[in-house]
Structure 1
Amino acid sequence: MNFKALKQYFLFTKQQQIGIFMLFLIMIGLQLFYFLSDFTISGKQSPEKEKWLALQPEIDQEKLVDKDGKPANNLFNPNFISDYKGYKLGMSVEEIDRLMAFRKENKYVNSAEEFQRVTRISDSLFNKISPLFKFPDWKQNKNNYSAKKSDFATKSFPKKEKLAILDINEATQEVLMKIYGIGEGLSSRILRQKEMLGSFVSMEQMKEIWGLSPEVINELKVYFKVVVPANLKKINVNEASLKELAQFSYFKYGLAKQIVTYRSMNGNFNNIEDLAKIKDFPVEKAKIISLYLEF
């Protein structure tokens, strides 16, 4: 092999030699950075993320279905079957609608047999899903519960005393705790939500409060209503700053920024329908949100 012919390819000027040397130094530095750096993610999580992670076991359990598509072996109260849950259990649309119509009358099925009578599901489906039903303990043990109910009510939740229908915006913690199922923690959470919003404008907002079950929300609707105060401070969408919009509970910073940008490019908003055109606007809550805004 003619090595002299190859030699010309390895002849470099002084500047080229310095450049090659610096390139090697950079490569070595990057390698050292990679091996010596700690790329592990911090274990610290935001409260919002921790709240959703607490739900993960329930979500995972919902996903556990076997190869035949049979429902996972987790117990549930059949009174609160959703359309999706009923479909997963093998119920037809008509059977689900019968249950929904029954529940709209504020009635509850108290046994597996009554569930079959109301929905008219087949015996085969009944035998398949009835072992998964779980009714409240007081439904299963009425005799024992009747003796315990009065003691429990007087100690923690004296629901049996007659409560007039009150404005939930005027309710104190003591009054809220008279509702069966609401203790010190949930009552404090309700009051904090009201303080953050300034006032509730709809009882539907109870669904947004973490920890309130559908049964407890129904109880609240029996004893409370919403009276929107005349002095409720509203946000003027066309004049509010980015900071003011971002501090509104139903808006995040990203949405507030889009609102300000859209407003500057297209002019003022005339109504909630104009505002709902913004990307990521929570359209399902538009009716409630509109009561906190002015245009």
Structure 2
Amino acid sequence: MNWRDLLYFSQGERRALTLLLCLISISWIILLLTDDKPKQIPKENVQIIEPAKTAQKIVSKKPNPEKVKTPASGRKNNSSREKNKFHSGETPNTSERRTFPKTEKYPVGTVVELNTADTTILKKVPGIGSTFARRIIKYRELLGGFYTVEQLREVYGLDEERYNAMKSWFSADISLICPLEVHKMSFKELCKHPYINYQQAHIIEQLRKQKGKLSGWENLQLLEEFTETDKERLTPYLSFE
């Protein structure tokens, strides 16, 4: 059949041939489109994995912590038990605590000499602990020694009530006082004494320059810087030799 023969078809034949070609083209297009779609898998062949079941399977594969214990895990368990005991209100084993021996106190009637006692002896007096024992020793070093038990009132922090409770436990030996040598002590050394202030140390230094040597309290008692109270307090501590 030659293509020229198409020109001799009737109008009805040409319409029928055109429709047939259109149907054939549509069929090929449908076939091409359906081949590109992914093939659906039947539901009965699909395996659904549930998270809960997989978690159980994974956990079951882990080793039992009670059967397998390492030294590190043992230490962690012990420390966690101790923390739980502490938070729960249980008292820890007293044998593990660091204990300090209690200082034995002197019996009633014991008398301690203030100018020779060290901190160990002072702490054996009822009412005196480490803090007050150190303060008493420090103040004694500044003074040069105690000439009366009443000077304990001047120790920092020692109130009247505590002093009245402990005064009967002490005595003071005046012969153990280390006096200040007025002709040898410098201005700064004189100022360090609790009973000598800046003005008093300054006037002593001026008198030494003027007179060369001070004979005794008669050189100081007429000065306004030194009162009768100062003389009473300083007499055991100043040496004019």
TM-score (norm 2): 0.48
- Structure of larger gyration radius: 2
Greater relative contact order: 1 or 2 (C-alpha under 8 angstroms, separation 6 or more)?
2
TM-score (norm 1): 0.40
